[in-house]
Homo-oligomer: A and B are copies of this chain.
Amino acid sequence: METFKLHILGCGAALPTPHHFCSSQVVNIREKLFMIDCAEGIQMQLRRSRLKFPCINHIFITHLHGDHCFGLIGLISTFALLGRTATLHIYAPQGLKAVLQPQIDFFCQGMEYTVELHEIDHRSPQTVYEDRSVSVTTIPLRHRIPCIGYFFQEKPTLPHIRRDAIDAFHIPISQINNIKAGMDWTTPEGDLIPNRLLTKPADPARSFAYCSDTLFTPQNAEQLHGVNLLYHEATFLQEHELLARKTFHSTALQAAQFAQLADARQLLIGHFSSRYKGETPLLNEAKSLFPNTLAANEGLCIPVV
């Protein structure tokens, strides 16, 4: 199966602590690396993770609170020092250009690559990135300032060739692509070999959704229906639900409710408030409703299956 996995670089909330960096993740889809959020210090985390800097061409920022974007200028600057030439695309809600471009102009004079800043309308889902293997669609979140989630969907792939059948029927290599595309095979003797004997079904297309920071927003569940891996913020315990509502965050129980509504295969919670000593109570709360839940942690790498 093709690579599709998630690396956690940071999963704390507003304040970095000795235990958690602030929000940042890298999604590896077929060795293309997509970064989501970019907190302070994330470039050091990136080095520790041994992810390859030059494979990052797209950074998706959920919103312009410091704990989700203070690492951008350092990363941009390091890319320049490493001699990068490929264009870097950064996606974020409106405000990105006003706050980031002057910093780039000041600190990164004479750099040899371009940073392209894309300001995205946060109000309704739209596809902001697409290549032949993946699309990225926005998810309208509800936070104190405009905030966007991101939905990574693998595109359907062609079926697998059955090597044993190809050999048995002496089918020439030149026909492999046709057979992958669905063609049956007729032997020199005139026998028709149906395509289903020559192929195995394609791997199912997988998906990953990132929902942080946000109020519990059940109306988004439909868009993400059947998502393989759902990252949902769980800043607070349910006992602090009022505080969650006041600050436009979710509780661990609400993250689980959302996973259930979206019929997610697996839930990953993060964006843990520094008020809690450990993540176990948050994890247990989510698991009580949605058993297939994991707690994010720096250095964790999770295959999307």
A residues with a Cβ closer than 8 A to B are 14-18, 21, 40-41, 43-44, 47-48, 64-66, 70-71, 73-74, 77-78, 81-82, 95, 98-99, 102-103, 106-107
Contacts and interface: CB of A to CB of B under 8 A. Distances in A.
A47 B17 contact: yes
Given A40-B41, A41-B44, A99-B103, 12 more contacts: A14-B81, A15-B78, A16-B44, A16-B47, A16-B78, A21-B44, A40-B71, A64-B107, A66-B73, A66-B77, A95-B106, A102-B102
A50 to B, nearest CB: 10
Contacts of A70: 73-74, 77
Instruction: Give the top 9 A-B pairs by smallest Cβ distance, nearest first.
Output: A41-B41, A40-B74, A66-B77, A70-B74, A99-B106, A66-B107, A16-B44, A18-B47, A18-B48
A151 to B, nearest CB: 27
Contacts of A43: 16, 40
A18 B40 contact: no
Contact of A102 (B16, B40, B77, B99): B99
Nearest to A105: B99
A157 B63 CA distance: 52
A44 B73 contact: no
A109 B41 CA distance: 23
B15 A81 contact: yes
A69 to B, nearest CB: 9
A275 to B, nearest CB: 12
A40 B103 CA distance: 14
Contacts of A82: 15
A47 B95 CA distance: 31
A71 B42 CA distance: 12
A106 B48 CA distance: 31
A47 B16 CA distance: 9
A106 to B, nearest CB: 5
A6 to B, nearest CB: 21
7 contacts: A17-B47, A41-B44, A64-B107, A66-B74, A95-B106, A99-B102, A102-B102
